[in-house]
Structure formats: structure tokens, C-alpha cells
Structure 1
Amino acid sequence: MSQEKRSVALLSLLASAVLTVAKFAVGLMTGSLGILSEAIHSLLDFGATAITYFAVRVGDRPPDRTHHFGHGKIESVAALAETGLLFATCAWIIYEAVRRLLVAQVHVDVTWIAVAVIVGSILIDFNRSRALKRVALKHGSEALEADALHFSSDMYSSAVVLVGLGLTWLGYPQADALAAIGVAVFVCLAGWRLGRRTVNTLMDAAPEGAAETIAELARDTDGVLALDRLRVRPGGGTLFVDIDINVARTLPFDRVTPIKNRLIARIHDAYPRSDVSVTTHAVPLDDETVHDKVMLISRRRGLAVHHVTIQHVGERLSVSFDIEVDGAMPLGAAHDLADSLEKSIADELGTDVEVESHIEPLQIETLAGRDVPEDRRHAYHETLSELAAQGMLTDVHNLRARQTDQGIFVTFHCRVDPATHVEDVHEAVDVLEHLFRERMPEVRRVIAHTEPLGAAPA
């Protein structure tokens, strides 16, 4: 529990006790109903403040096994109990005031002590109301805010009693009872405002404007296609936000998480004491291509797919692709995997579609490699440079050759005219790799990295 919240609640409790004793003593001594009503009011204040002190102690406990959202609503329960005490005060004050006006004649002795007690009460209520309000806003405490509202209304009711004493001293004895009714009016107004807010909190009513603000934040967050559902409810000093958003289903998982984090951060900026839960729903886009759909389905299954080819053959759609699986996997298992992927793609694209796959081995294990001798690396470089000169590729550089248990792997960089189409570059690289492996059969694999002429060296 916050030490600041505990301290301000305890000081308010002690102030209520002192005012209650002083007002009862002066009220009985002078016979003033206004002061007695204030004394009873202060007694109820003492009880309400005691409830508040208990509530802020319990409300700051963290969530546990049976209270998953924490204990913050105990502050709302305390505020509701305080509301009940306020209305009970009103009922007694109005009853006694009407009785004195219509039936009983009670002499009120106005003394300087009575005036001093009421003035002191106003000063004390002013200072503790400000202190309670400050701490309540700082920590989002509903119970402390209820106390602050309560004691701010007490200042006005005490001022009414002070006016009643003055009129009584001037020779208008009914003014004391009328002042008491004035106190009851202030108490009723404070109770009504406090009770309405407390009931709204207990019924999980969203704070005014919160839902609209959060909805706007969601719609303005990059990557969010639409707001699907939003639920906001207060719990003590915490605002619980449960929000569902739509994102493009073609997005990989590692791009969805930053979208959620950006939205959560924006909500926290607007409502620092918020607990935000974001659920994403992947939805299809109107402009998804066939290629997007094929890659999406394969990615969901954790399969590597490339060389996707899409053809329109008359009224039919034909899709083919290469699928990479573990090279050590039995062909039967690999075929079942490919067949399942083909069926999923066909279900997505429609019944009138051809789907064919080519199974390739995927290098999964990490190979232990070592650099080949320099003379062999030089021979590979010379051969590649010679073959590249026969086509569009130039400037073979950054060549590496490593010996592994599965053969020699050669990687190199080369350059090409930046205006050349990627498809033409890829075909030229394929030809170069094929010719090179014919010359150097010990080479298991060749990986070429093409760069545009004039690019900075990699």
C-alpha cells in the first residue's frame, strides 16, 4: 500500500475524531440543532473515514488466486457505504429541524466557543479536502476522492450553520433549524453525486469519454485495420481495457506483436493507470493475391516454399511451387506433408484449381566447415571469372570456399547492370552455377550474390 495514501487517510481519520468531539460538546452546551447536526455529520464522517482507511489498505493489495483483477473495487464499496451514511444524516437532520420548527421550541445559546468550533471545522475541512484530492488524483483512489468530495461539501454546510448562529444571535431563533435543513441539502447533493459515481463503478460503467478516446487511438495505430470490440471498466485506481483489433492475415507473427505493443503504449500514455489486454484477429484483405495466399498458408504450417508459379489455363487456375523438407525425411512422410499443403491451398483458392508441388531437401543441421587451401580457392575464382565473362556477370569477388562433410560450398559476389531485370539476372546466375559445377564436380553447392554496378562493396 502507498505510504502517502495511508498517511493522508489516517490524518483525515484523526481530524474527524477531533471535530466530532468538539461539535458534540459545543452543540450540547448551546442547544444548537445546527451544531448538533454538524456533530452527527462529523460522527458519520469518522465512520466513513475509518471505512476509507480500511479500503485503501485492502484496495492496494496485488491480484491473487481468487481476485484476478486485484482488490480495487473495495474502494467503491467503501464509497457506497459512505453514501448511505450521508443519506442517513440527511434524514435525521431534516426530521429534527422540522420538529423544532413546528412543535418544539428550543433555546439556542450562541457563544464565541460555538463560532470558534465551526470556523475551525471549516479550516480543517478545507485543508484535508485539498490533501485528499491531491493524493486521490495522484494514485487514482476512488475512496480518497469520495472523502475529498465529502469534506469539501462539509465546508459549505458548516458555513450555513455559521450563518444560522449569526441570525439566531440577531433574534431569529428559527434560523438555526433552517440552517440545519441547509446542511441536509448540502449533504444530499454530495451523497447523490458520490452515489451515482460509485454505482457506475460497481456496475463497470466506462469512465466518460474513455471508450471514444481509446477507440480513436486504436484506429490511428499503424497496422490496425479495424476495431472489432472494446470493453472498458474501472477497478479502484486501475482502468481495465479489453480490446480486439483486426490485422491483415498476411502479416507474419513477428510483425503483429509490434502492432499490439504500439497500441498498448498509446493507451498507457493516455491512461497511465491502465491494464490493457489486446487480442488480434487475422482477417483477409480484398486485394490479396494468389501468391499472398499460398505464402500465408505455407507460413502458418511452418513450411518453406519458393518458386511459386501461377498460371491461368482457360478458366482454370494452376499453381505450382517448390516445398523444402528435411532431406532425411522418408519420401512417404514428405509426400503426405506436401499433399496436405496442396489440399489447404486448393480449399482456399476454390475447387476449380490445380495445385502441384515439387519436393526439395532442406538443409536443417549445421555443418562443420573449414576453408579450402588457397590454391583451390584461387582456382575457383579464376574459373568463375572466366565463365562470368561469357555472359552479363562481371567482377567476381568476395569468394569463399568451405569444405564440409557434404562437399564443398562456394559463395561469391558479382556485379551486373542495375537496369537488368531480376528474372534475367537469375537465369544468368543459374547458367553460371551449372557450368561451374560441370568444371568442378567436387563442389556441392554454389551461392551467388549479385550487386548492381557502382554499388558499394558488401
Structure 2
Amino acid sequence: MKKTRALTLSLAAIASVVVVEGAAGLLTNSLALISDALHALFDVIATLTLLVATRMSLKPPDETHTYGHGKIESIGGFLGGLLLSALGVDIVWSAFSRLAEGEHNVTPELVGFLAIFYTLAIDGLRISVLHTSLKGEESATVKADLFHALSDLSSTLVALAGYASASLNIFIGDTLAALTLCVLIFYLSLKMVYRTSLDLSDAVPKSIFNRVKASIQTHPNIKHFDNLRMRRVGDKIFVDVDITIPQELSVKEADLIASDLQKKIQDTIGKSEVSVKLKPSPQQPTLIDRIYHVAGKVDGVRGVHKVVLTDVGSAQHLTLHVEVDLNLPTDRAHEIAEEVERRLIEEVSGIGSVTVHIEPAQERIKAYEIDDKDMAESIKEIVKANRFVKKVEDVKMYGDDKRMYVDIRCVLKDNLTVEEAHAVATEIERKIVEKYQRLDVTLHIETESDSK
């Protein structure tokens, strides 16, 4: 594959840097060159890990590696990070010893500069090869190695500065360059140890867990979920979850929900494998639930509300409001209404007749706020005049080119039934509209106990 060839070439190139720069560092006694060679060694381990991970990822799971072979990458990265940290400690010890003793013993020679310029050329070659391989083929491993190559380029420039200062008899520059590079080595190696230790312990970042959780919770057809389990294997995250769905769904509908959830999670967290276990809700759907479900499945239906069942002799008559796209032609809306009626009679037992009221689905309104204190106070007085209202908490008014809207929050006395509270709200809305004809009223009611 294109990306494995790029990684192999990158590995060979950076390995040659370790040999050339390491040998030059030992010959000239330059800690800057030795540190940069050590940093290159870090990239050898990192690139080798990425290469192994890329090749192993091509192998399918087997009987002994049911989740694939991605953990090999984590093991290699963990051990490599520990090794580099230990080597970094040795370099730091040598650097501080030189600073304390005031003896640097660097013997700048042409071979050192040749090694550095060779390294710069290799860094440039790696960046070019890796960048080219990314064109037309996205690869997280190649992209990671490209970032390593860019960091190598910067570290080599630091080594060049330190070695050049030593050639000008500013020997402390070589030691300071070595310490600077060791800071980078410690950061990268400890970061690798931390990340791979999380992978080996099957830990995933809390942010990723919360994003997956939110994807499940916001799915409209999932009533409940549990047993959410996640683990990272290589560059892939495995997700297992049990979800509870309505009983009335068909097998095909349930499968569509599972597929939709899988795609939603994969879009959220990237490369992943999602396993969804479906469980029917233990609650039996009511007749009204069934009506909403059947009507909502009809193509073109945007919403269902105001469902009313009336006993007429031995049969039941059903009326409901169905929302459709407001730009639909009337004949198409009529076809939708007839289809809703037909399906309800066929699929919901006991219904003798159905009347569907078609209305346009409400679109998002672009409105402006209305700051009319006199009008707001007048509306408050209308609401407070009702004997069941304890207090008015808020009145918000806004409008567009066609209508004005008012949202009212008020507190009613306790011990009212839903039917009684609805009657109160309807009466208040009627009186407000009588006074302000072009007003669309929404009344939110609470009881005294709710508002405490």
C-alpha cells in the first residue's frame, strides 16, 4: 500500500540519521548532536510502531485477537517511551555535569556539520514523501509520522545552533541545546507512555465517552440505554451499548435505528466499530402511542398532534392533526391525509373512522423582540384576573412581518386536574386574543408546588 511504503521509507531515512548523527556526536563529544540523534531514535520507535500498526491493522481479527491486533502498537509505544525517557535522563545528567564542572570538551569538526546537514536533508525528504503520500489517501498513521518529521526538523535546527556556537568557542551553547532537546524528548516520550498506558488499560478519554453518550441520548427513538462500554485498540475505538426501543417497531425499523446510531457515533468520534444490542421496551404501548407511531411513519408527515378518540356506538372515531410541509401542493397534502387514514384503519384495531386535519408544519421563525411595557402589563392583568391564577412570572413578546407572539409563564393553584388546567389556559388565551387579534399566545402553566 502507498502509506506503508511511505512509512517504510521514512523509517529507513530516520534510522540512518540515528547512525550518522550519533556517530558524529560521539566523535566530536557534542551533546547537542547526541541529543538530536536520541530524538531521531524516538522517531524510529514511533515510526516503527506506526508501521507495525498499519500492517497489523490489515490483518483481520482471529480466534486469539478478536478485537484485532492494534494493542501491539500500544505495547511498542509504551516500552519505547520508557526507554527514551531513561536515555534522556542520562543525557541530562551529562549536561548538568558539564555545566557544574565547566568542562565541555566539545571538539567541533567538519564531520559534525556534515552530519547535521545530512539530517536536515533527510528531514526534508521525509516531509516531502509523507506529504505526497497523504494526497488522495487519508491516513492517521502517515499524518502522525509527518508531524514527527516536522518536529525533527525543528530539533535539528536547535542542534545546529548549539554545535555552531561550540565552533565559535561558546561551548555552553552545545550543552544548552542538548538540554533543550531533552525537554522535547521527555515531553514526547512521557506523552507516549501516558497515551499507550491508557490504551493498554482500556481507558478512553472522558470527553469521547461523553460525546458518545450524548449521541445516544439525543436519538429520538431510543427510550433508554445501558451497558455503554468503550475501549481503544490501536487507532480504532470499539463501542458496545444496549438500547431500549419501543415495542411496536418492526424488525426493519429497529435495524434502521441501530444503523443510524452506529453512523451517528462514528461521525462523532471518527474511526470506530459500534455494536448495538436492541431490547424492546418492557412498557406496553398504549393505543394513543400506536396511533402516533402509525401516522408518523407515513411519508410526508412532519408531525402529529391533537389526537382525539371518541366512542361512537360500538366503534371509535379518531380525529387528529397532521403537519406537512407548508410548500406542498394541496392535492399532495390530500394524498398524505388519505394515506394516514387508510393506514390507521388497517393497522390499529378498533378504529371505525378517521378524520385528518392537515396543517402546515411550523418553520423556524425569524422574529424581533417587542418592548411594549403597556401591552405586557395589560396581558398580565388579563392573566391575573382568572381566579385560578396565583401569579404571573414572565411575559415575553416578539413578532415578525405577519404576526405577534407572546409567551406567558404563570402559576396556578394546586389540586387542579390536567383537564381543568387546560381549560383555564384556553380561557386566558381566548381573552387575550379577543383584545389583541393578531396575537399568537403560548401559555406555560405551573402549580404552586412546581414553582417552589
**TM-score of the superposition, structure 1-length normalised?**
0.56
- Give the whole-Å Cα distance in 1 for the aligned partners of 2:177 and 2:288: 81
Contact 2:14/2:122 (8 A) holds in 1:
no
- Give the whole-Å Cα distance in 1 for the aligned partners of 2:200 and 2:124: 29
**2:400 paired residue number:** none
Contact 2:248/2:285 (8 A) holds in 1:
no
Residue 60 of structure 2 aligns to a residue whose secondary structure is coil
- Give the whole-Å Cα distance in 1 for the aligned partners of 2:153 and 2:236: 30
Residue 67 of structure 1 aligns to a residue whose secondary structure is coil
| Equivalent runs, 1:167-178 vs 2, <5 Å | 167-178=165-176
Q: 52, 74, 77: which is aligned to 1:76? A: 74
Which stretch has the larger CA shift, 23-32 or 63-72?
A: 23-32
Post-superposition CA distance 1:233-287 (Å, at most 9, x none): 2211322111221212233434322221221232233345321111122224486
- Give the whole-Å Cα distance in 1 for the aligned partners of 2:289 and 2:9: 70
2:133 is the alignment partner of 1:138: no
**1:188 paired residue number:** 186
Unaligned runs of 5+ in 2: 291-340, 356-452
Deviation (angstroms), 1:203: 1.8
Contact 1:62/1:70 (8 A) holds in 2:
yes
- Give the whole-Å Cα distance in 1 for the aligned partners of 2:82 and 2:29: 27
| Equivalent runs, 1:213-362 vs 2, <5 Å | 213-271=211-269, 273-285=271-283, 288=286
Q: 48, 59, 62: which is aligned to 2:60? A: 62
- Give the whole-Å Cα distance in 1 for the aligned partners of 2:86 and 2:232: 27
| Equivalent runs, 1:401-412 vs 2, <5 Å | none
Distance 1:206 1:33, change over 3 A: closer
| Equivalent runs, 1:418-437 vs 2, <5 Å | none
**2:40 paired residue number:** 42
Q: Which amino acid aligns with 2:77?
A: A
Contact 2:81/2:193 (8 A) holds in 1:
yes
**1:165 paired residue number:** 163
Distance 1:152 1:275, change over 3 A: same
Deviation (angstroms), 1:46: 3.8
Contact 1:207/1:234 (8 A) holds in 2:
no
Post-superposition CA distance 1:64-86 (Å, at most 9, x none): 11111111111111221221232
Residue 138 of structure 2 aligns to a residue whose secondary structure is helix
Post-superposition CA distance 1:156-199 (Å, at most 9, x none): 33222222123223332122122212211110011122222211
Number of residue pairs matched by the alignment = 295
2:197 is the alignment partner of 1:199: yes
Post-superposition CA distance 1:111-155 (Å, at most 9, x none): 4542343244245336536865876993444xx666555544433
- Give the whole-Å Cα distance in 1 for the aligned partners of 2:134 and 2:171: 41
**What root-mean-square deviation, in Å, do the aligned CA atoms of Structure 1 and Structure 2 show?**
3.7
Which stretch has the larger CA shift, 30-39 or 187-196?
A: 30-39
Q: Which amino acid aligns with 2:239?
A: V
Contact 2:59/2:68 (8 A) holds in 1:
yes
Q: Which amino acid aligns with 1:138?
A: E
Contact 2:24/2:33 (8 A) holds in 1:
yes
Distance 1:127 1:21, change over 3 A: same
Distance 1:47 1:267, change over 3 A: closer
- Give the whole-Å Cα distance in 2 for the aligned partners of 1:45 and 1:148: 10
Distance 1:198 1:150, change over 3 A: farther
**2:447 paired residue number:** none
Unaligned runs of 5+ in 1: 293-417, 430-449, 453-458
Residue 209 of structure 1 aligns to a residue whose secondary structure is helix
Larger relative contact order (C-alpha < 8 A, sep ≥ 6)? 2
Distance 1:260 1:53, change over 3 A: closer
- Give the whole-Å Cα distance in 1 for the aligned partners of 2:189 and 2:120: 19
Q: Percent identity?
A: 30
Distance 1:269 1:36, change over 3 A: closer
- Give the whole-Å Cα distance in 2 for the aligned partners of 1:123 and 1:62: 38
Distance 1:79 1:151, change over 3 A: farther
Deviation (angstroms), 1:37: 3.0
Contact 1:246/1:281 (8 A) holds in 2:
yes
Deviation (angstroms), 1:63: 0.4
Contact 1:228/1:245 (8 A) holds in 2:
yes
Contact 1:153/1:190 (8 A) holds in 2:
no
Q: 68, 75, 93: which is aligned to 2:91? A: 93
Q: Which has the larger radius of gyration?
A: 1
Post-superposition CA distance 1:332-357 (Å, at most 9, x none): xxxxxxxxxxxxxxxxxxxxxxxxxx
Q: Which amino acid aligns with 1:56?
A: T
**1:320 paired residue number:** none
- Give the whole-Å Cα distance in 1 for the aligned partners of 2:63 and 2:257: 31
Deviation (angstroms), 1:34: 1.6
Contact 1:161/1:179 (8 A) holds in 2:
yes
Contact 1:38/1:158 (8 A) holds in 2:
yes
Contact 2:247/2:285 (8 A) holds in 1:
no
- Give the whole-Å Cα distance in 1 for the aligned partners of 2:90 and 2:116: 20
Post-superposition CA distance 1:386-426 (Å, at most 9, x none): xxxxxxxxxxxxxxxxxxxxxxxxxxxxxxxx9xxx8xxx9
Post-superposition CA distance 1:353-390 (Å, at most 9, x none): xxxxxxxxxxxxxxxxxxxxxxxxxxxxxxxxxxxxxx
Post-superposition CA distance 1:279-311 (Å, at most 9, x none): 12222448635998xxxxxxxxxxxxxxxxxxx
**2:403 paired residue number:** none
Contact 1:221/1:262 (8 A) holds in 2:
no
